[in-house]
Structure 1
Amino acid sequence: MTSDDEPSTLPRRQLGRFLREVREGSGLSLDRAAHLVELSKTALQRIETGGVKKYRIRDIQALCELYEVKPDDVDRAVELAKQARVTSWYTAFGGLYSDATFNMYVELAAAARQLIAYHEIVLGLLQTADYARALIGAFYRDSSPEDIERRVELRLKRQTIVTRKADPVKLELLLHESALHRVVGGPRVMAAQLKHLAEISKLPNISLRIHPFVDGCASGLLHGPFLTLDFGTDAKGRPIEPPLVYLEGAGKPDLYLEHADDVRRYHDIASAIRSTALDETQTRDLLRRSARSYTA
């Protein structure tokens, strides 16, 4: 974990993951790529695993040129290299990752092995197309219908990380009961969305539990939505990457908390919510009753 006087590891990890993926996509081995840009294999390996605290920008540019990375993504890679030098106990990103090919949250969620989320609307990974369309259309009011549909399509594609048969991400969603009553897209859309939640929560890698109104503030405060990301362990039981907490900015820069105390605090909040939430069977029953109320 990073300490308060060390640079954030998150930009290094994201840059390393991006460079590894584009190298593999170009069909180059680690040895071959390192040779072509005049780096040692060890140096390139350290870049790809986020083990470099200070980058030479010309190395990042040379790697991107070798892998034929698009100019916009080269700029983003260089910006990540610069961010890696910043000392902070949290990392804020806004605007830089709006391009779908280089979206920070999407990349992190796809790399994680376990996600624990508390939300007050349906989490994007479990949204129906119509529910997603209503939310996205309300947020991007000035966008064309084609742009809205592209964003909906991308959101649905992201869901494969929890629905795929091979090694799906484990997801625990603690959903506040208000999400069942906050009408998104109209009664028909809500009925379909709640039925979808009841069905998809049967998957063995998905746990969905409703936190009811009657249980008030489980942790004694209004903390807002959050997502914890755990990246699993290697064969020796060591963390592959340090865990993170993601706080969606809702119009402001998104926050990624890396400090061990922050991660622990949000796990404690999740535990408090979990202790007062309905169990999974009760949750499915409530979802189905709520869905029927929209079609009555």
Structure 2
Amino acid sequence: MTDALPEDTGTTLPRRQLGRLLRDARAATGMNLDEAAALVQWSRPTLSRLERGETEKVRVNDVSALCEAYGLSGEATAVAKGLAEQTPAKSWWHAYGDLIPAWANLYVGLESGATSLTIFQPLIMHGLLQTTDYARAVDRTYFPDDTADEIERRVQIRVQRQRILTRARQPTKAAVVLHENVLRTVVGDSRVMAAQCRHVADMSTRDNIEIRVMPFRAGLPLGAAVPPFTIMDFGRDTRSKRILEPSQVYCEGYAGSAYLEKRTDVLTFRHAFRKLEQASLDTRSSRDMVREIARRHESER
């Protein structure tokens, strides 16, 4: 975690996501830049800038024309058009179920590409640390109309996400602060919670993961309630040494989520995390506390 951030770039998250979507769609057709640009009567550099997320003004009609040329489905075209409308935004809020139906995939894509994650969770276990039983209990409540198969698919997505922390080569680094609420709030039942707490304690022994618990007695270190957030930092290109993606702050809420990438916003959340971290137990004491809470859940079965 560092405060040495680059200045704000001219590109934005929606521009970069739109560029990736269109680049992948073009690649799927087998067309090169020249061939695709000719289809919509553009120059090669113009299309290349769009795919890199460097186009300042993106017109929805132009994006629609590219989607048609690539034979994208109506849903994929809706996603692309929604991104085109959001391209100027540096700070960006989206509601679940709005024009862009697959926004969870956006977060998962960013998360999987991050080299380090800085996480604060005040109420619920972060998805990367959830056991399958805990995830299943959460999803059954949040998605009451889903079938058993749909719930299982959601759980398996969670399991796949978690591999970034446990893979053998270059696992993602994670610094996590969990409020004591997360460990004591019963999700599922006491058996589920006992296993969940033991899992957190085990994960905290990994070299790439630091987990601290902020106890009830810490009060309000920032003088206000803080939403759950994740700061995602990305590596540099091995050749050019350019940052692959600007740092992102992801704040999750019940009705939607916010993506923030302004330098000042990222710094604000870094400073907030530092204060939350200082108010928390150290890693060894946190692990001991998590295991003690696991034993208490076990005794309540």
TM bracket (short chain): 0.7 to 0.9
1:83 aligns with 2:86: yes
Q: Distance in 1 between matches of 2:292 and 2:214?
A: 16
1:239 CA drift (Å): 3.0
Q: 1:103 aligns with which of 105, 112, 132?
A: 105
Using the TM superposition, give the Cα deviation of residue 70 of structure 1 relative to its aligned residue in structure 2, in angstroms: 2.8
User: What is the rounded CA distance, in whole Å, between the counterparts of 2:51 and 2:227 in structure 1?
Assistant: 34
In 2: Cα distance, 1:191 partner to 1:97 partner: 40
Q: Which residue of 2 aligns with 1:280?
A: 283
Q: Indicate the percent of aligned positions where both proteins have the same amino acid.
A: 40
Change (3 A) 1:183 1:102: closer
Q: Partner of 1:166: helix, strand, or coil?
A: coil
User: Structure 2 CA distance, aligned partners of 1:41 and 1:162?
Assistant: 39
- State the partner residue of 1:15: 18
The DSSP-based 3-state class of the residue aligned with 2:298 is coil
Give the C-alpha shift of residue 267 in structure 1: 0.4
User: Which shows bigger deviation, 112-121 or 156-165?
Assistant: 156-165
1:70-219 to structure 2, matched below 5 A, reads 70-85=73-88, 90-94=91-95, 95-96=97-98, 99-100=101-102, 103-120=105-122, 121-219=124-222
Supply the distance in 2 between the matched residues of 1:280 and 1:27 (Cα, whole angstroms).
Answer: 50
Does 2:246 correspond to 1:239?
no
Q: For each residue in 1:180-235, what CA deviation from the matched residue of structure 2 results, as whole angstroms up to 9, or x when unmatched? A: 11000101111111111111222322221111122222223221211112223345
Per-residue deviation, residues 139-196 of structure 1 (Å, max 9, x unmatched): 1223332322222222222222322223332221111111111000101111111111
Deviation at 1:65, TM superposition (A): 4.2
> Unaligned regions of 5+ residues in structure 1, if any?
none
Using the size of structure 2 for normalisation, the TM-score is 0.85
Amino acid at match of 2:121: H
Structure 2 Cα separation of the partners of residues 48 and 161 of structure 1 = 26
- Report the equivalent of 1:267: 270
- Cα distance, 1:22 vs. partner? 4.0
Cα distance in structure 2, aligned partners of 1:188 and 1:30: 56
User: Given the alignment, which residue of 250, 256, 265 partners 2:254?
Assistant: 250
C-alpha separation in 2, matches of 1:225 and 1:101: 17
Please give the alpha-carbon distance, in whole angstroms, between the structure 1 residues aligned to 2:210 and 2:42: 45
Q: Which amino acid aligns with 2:178?
A: L
Counterpart AA for 1:282: S
Instruction: Report if the CA contact (8 A) 1:76-1:96 is conserved.
Output: no
CA displacement at 1:2 relative to structure 2: 5.4
Q: 1:69 aligns with which of 67, 72, 83?
A: 72
- Judge conservation of contact 2:79–2:100 (CA < 8 Å) in 1: no
For 1:35 and 1:63, locate their aligned partners in 2 and report how far apart those are by CA, in whole Å.
11
Superposition TM-score, scaled by structure 1 size = 0.86
CA distance in 1, matches of 2:84, 2:27: 20
Residue 216 and residue 293 in structure 1: after superposition, are their counterparts in 2 closer, same or farther (change >3 A)?
Answer: same
Q: Deviations over 1:247-287 (max 9, x none)?
A: 11212x31112222221111001011112222222222222
Contact 1:2–1:9 (CA under 8 A) maintained in structure 2: no
Asked whether the equivalents of residues 78 and 100 of structure 2 are also in contact (C-alpha less than 8 Å), the reply is no
Match of 2:125, SS state, is coil
- Cα RMSD (Å) of the superposition? 2.6
The one-letter amino acid of 2:138's match is: L
